[in-house]
Amino acid sequence: MDANRTDWYIRHRSYYLQVESENLTDNLPLFQGDSSYILHVDTFYTGYYALESVSLPDHYIKSDINGRLVVTQRSDTADYNDTASFSM
């Protein structure tokens, strides 16, 4: 959820992440699935986290070549692991 705007969430649409209002959707169950993620620890690297999409299992948030955040299917490559991992 956006810390400054209640009812606004990060959601994937066409695999790209964007912030949208829950109040503007005409399909709430789809919106809720597309804006829900599972936080994993040690998925790709020890001590790092990854976010898996609830509505697209085995798809993780990562940055694309232009730096935009996208949800893409897991790939066993160093580039994928590097861009889908983060620390807190």
The reported pLDDT for the residue numbered 3 is 86
Q: How far apart, in whole angstroms, are the C-alpha atoms of residue 26 and residue 61? A: 24
> Tell me, what DSSP letter sits at residue 27?
-
Question: Which is more confidently placed, 88 or 41?
Answer: 41
Q: How far apart, in whole angstroms, are the C-alpha atoms of residue 70 and residue 24? A: 22
Q: Tell me which architecture the domain covering 8-84 has in CATH.
A: Trefoil (2.80)
pLDDT in tens, 45-83: 999 999 999 999 999 999 999 989 999 999 999 999 999
pLDDT > 90? residue 22: yes
Proportion of the chain above pLDDT 90, given as a percent = 88
